[in-house]
Amino acid sequence: MKYYFIFLCSLLLTNVFCQSNTEVFLFDLESTSSKIEVKNGKNISNNEGYDNQPSFLNEDYVLFASSRNDQTDIAKYHINYKSRIFINSTQGGEYSPLKIPNKYAVSAVRLDKDGKQRLYSYNLSNGESTELIQDLVVAYYTWHNENTIVSAVIEEEQLNLYVTNLLDDASKKHATKVGRSFHKIPNSDLVSFISKENDNQWQIKSFDPSTGKIRLIANTIKNVEDICWLDNKTILCGNDSKLYKLTLKRDNSWKTVADLSSYGITKITRLAVNAEANKLLIAGDISTSAPNDTQDSDDNASNNSETETTDTEVSLTETQAGAIVQKHIDPFNTRRLDEFANAFDDDVVVNRFPKDYMYSGRNTLKENYKQFFKNNKKSNVKVLNRMVHKNTVIDEELVTVNNRTVRQATVYEVDDKGIKSMTFVRNKETTSNPEAIVNTQLERYNERDIEGFTKTYSNDIKLYTFPENPTTTGQAALKKSYATFFERVPDLNAEVMNRIVLGNKVIDKEKVIINGQIFYAIAIYEVNDGLISRVTFIQ
């Protein structure tokens, strides 16, 4: 049974946001009528923390939002000299820096410490800032010309498209439910934006700020909203580590350009092409093992062709992952031992939650269940609820052994060969309802009440990533982390897609939107003495 709730975030948000490491990469770009190549990639931010939303100031400089001294400021990077400076020194955090047309100034969305979020201009000579649009909470934007801004404005938990004329301070709404990607279409007077009016299929549309006319251009890749224009006919976008292109009136579908995983990029989030169309900026999440400064190599170049590449670890769809787990259910119930054992990897590991090792290996598993079937005349498992995230499946199960029936949860990690780990989560008895404090925690988060939020946790709260990798220990550390997070993230939205309540544990799968970007994760809350004492994240 599924439970649906809307909250302005949950515990997993900080884990996703605070631990994500985004970097900005600069690539050389070569394109012909038949082929696009990206090569010589270099990590130009090379900075622990948040580095994102890059754009070209001109042919020599790049702008991007970058973390320093516990806040986000505007960084300016010199392409030839490979040097970086910061151009502002406000108390707030700046995001989405762009060059203002025909002026020696840039603009950025600023989130002040008092919670005020507005669009400002910054003089490149002295760094002084001026508020550009009053009374509108601008989240994302682009410049149509030096006096006209097309933006996504936060209204009632969604983004709506506005046009603002700075000469007369007039703003007008033209579309609702839009995404974060706004771009001037090359060699035209049009701006592109992402329409999310159709939840099942987002669309790229053109918009004429002078007339208000909107036209459909193309469909996006599913749930992908970050694009940029190579020229007025070709669009680039990223999905996970892969770069795609769509040439209008020629390509019937998005075509793979390159797999950038060799640079450590796991998820492409933002893209920008310079005016000469010979350089490409990409912001993306990077793996923790990624090199800090990736130099071009023959190996890297070999991955940047317009062909599909094979990942070393196969990423499964939710349907595929669920089907792999399902392969052992029926054989268990009908006691077909060989078929049951063959659903598991050769080196499968079996644990009790969180990481209490029991045994490993398919042969050992087979011997254990052979003895189990011999000792118990009747055994059956029924799946009551199933949640899937990437290659992890959690089943809520009703298990009957002889005349005794118990409810449990089992965490399965799978790959294309079978089940590679199986972790049993036991039903621990409790006299209280653990959902109550978890929901209170979510409500306090929704209110950004850091004091009330912190009070829902025990003094010795511990946060982990699955199975048992510690990330945060103690209420003071949690409070510090969340206080910063509350100040800096203006648009948080989480929806509990599925929930399992098992004794003192609440297991939630959540869909989270952070600045327009969608994340999924699973949080396993453990409640003791009426407070959340432990949370384990599966990301």
- Please state the three-class secondary structure of 448-497 as a single string: CCHHHHHCCEEEEEEEEECCCEEEEECHHHHHHHHHHHHHHCCCEEEEEE
Give the pLDDT band (50/70/90) at residue 313. Answer: low
User: What is the C-alpha to C-alpha distance for residues 522 and 389, in angstroms, rounded to an integer?
Assistant: 7
Mind listing the pLDDT tens digit for each residue in 416-436?
999 999 999 988 888 788 999
pLDDT at 299 over 80: no
Is 293 a domain residue?
Answer: no
Is 486 a domain residue?
Answer: yes
The verdict on 206 and 168 lying in the same domain is: yes
* 174, 267, 306, 307, 482 from 303: Cα distances, Å: 42, 16, 9, 8, 39
Q: Which residues pair with residue 279 across a beta bridge?
A: 28
| pLDDT given at position 292 | 44
The verdict on 275 and 359 lying in the same domain is: no
The verdict on 376 and 442 lying in the same domain is: no
State the CATH number of the domain containing residue 45. 2.120.10.30
Is 514 a domain residue?
Answer: yes
- Mean of all residue pLDDT scores within the chain: 86
Q: Which of 374, 394, 425 is the last residue before a domain boundary? A: 425
**DSSP letter for each residue of 182-243:** -EEPTTSS-EEEEE-SSTT--EEEEE-TTT--EEEEEEPSTT---EEESSSSEEEEEETTEE
Angle at 164 between CA 163 and CA 169, to 5 degrees: 155
**For the chain, first and last CA: distance in Å?**
22
Query: Chain-centre distance of CA 140, in angstroms?
Result: 17
| Helix ranges restricted to H, 11-62 | 11-19
**Residue found by looking up tokens 């959540």 in the block:** 510
The verdict on 201 and 70 lying in the same domain is: yes
Query: Chain-centre distance of CA 146, in angstroms?
Result: 33
Cβ–Cβ < 8 Å for 282, 260 = yes
Question: Considering only CA atoms, which of 201, 254, 195 is closest in space to residue 223?
Answer: 201
Q: Which of 268, 286, 304 is the last residue before a domain boundary? A: 286
Give the pLDDT band (50/70/90) at residue 231. Answer: very high
CB neighbourhood size of 51 (10 A): 25
| pLDDT given at position 451 | 94
**By three-state DSSP, how is residue 301 classified?**
helix
Which residues constitute the domain of residue 385? 318-425
| pLDDT given at position 314 | 64
- Residue 523 is which amino acid? A
pLDDT at 102 over 60: yes
The verdict on 267 and 339 lying in the same domain is: no
- How would you class 424 by CB atoms within 10 Å of its CB: exposed for 0-12, middle for 13-18, buried for 19 or more? middle
Q: Which of 399, 425, 451 is the last residue before a domain boundary? A: 425
Burial track 282-295 (b if 16+ CB lie within 10 A, e otherwise): bbbbbeeebeeebe
Is 5 a domain residue?
Answer: no
| pLDDT given at position 474 | 95
The verdict on 137 and 167 lying in the same domain is: yes
The verdict on 55 and 201 lying in the same domain is: yes
Rg (CA), the chain: 25
**Which is more confident, 184 or 442?**
184
Q: Strand 183-184: give its sheet, edge to edge.
A: 183-184, 191-195, 203-207, 214-219
State the CATH number of the domain containing residue 452. 3.10.450.50
Is 309 a domain residue?
Answer: no
Is 1 a domain residue?
Answer: no
Give the pLDDT band (50/70/90) at residue 288. Answer: low
The least confident of 58-62, 134-138, 409-413, 517-521 is 517-521
pTM: 0.54
The verdict on 404 and 447 lying in the same domain is: no
| pLDDT given at position 88 | 81
Question: Considering only CA atoms, which of 262, 267, 265 is closest in space to residue 303?
Answer: 262
Query: Chain-centre distance of CA 169, in angstroms?
Result: 35
Is 410 a domain residue?
Answer: yes
The least confident of 38-52, 347-361, 416-430, 488-502 is 488-502
The verdict on 392 and 411 lying in the same domain is: yes
The verdict on 354 and 459 lying in the same domain is: no
Helices then strands (H, E): number in the chain? 9, 37
User: What is the C-alpha to C-alpha distance for residues 516 and 500, in angstroms, rounded to an integer?
Assistant: 27
Query: Chain-centre distance of CA 238, in angstroms?
Result: 13
pLDDT at 10 over 70: no
The least confident of 164-168, 305-309, 379-383, 469-473 is 305-309
Residue 114 CB partners (closer than 8 Å, separation 6+): none
Domain count, the chain: 3
Residue 481: phi and psi, rounded to 5, are -65, -45
Cβ–Cβ < 8 Å for 350, 358 = yes
- Name the DSSP letter for residue 46: -
Is 312 a domain residue?
Answer: no
The verdict on 155 and 277 lying in the same domain is: yes
pLDDT at 302 over 50: no
Question: Considering only CA atoms, which of 52, 3, 1 is closest in space to residue 23?
Answer: 52
- Name the DSSP letter for residue 112: -
The verdict on 163 and 240 lying in the same domain is: yes
- Please confirm whether the linkage preceding 434 is cis (ω < 30° from 0): no
Q: What is the mean pLDDT of residues 245-269?
A: 91
Cβ–Cβ < 8 Å for 508, 484 = no
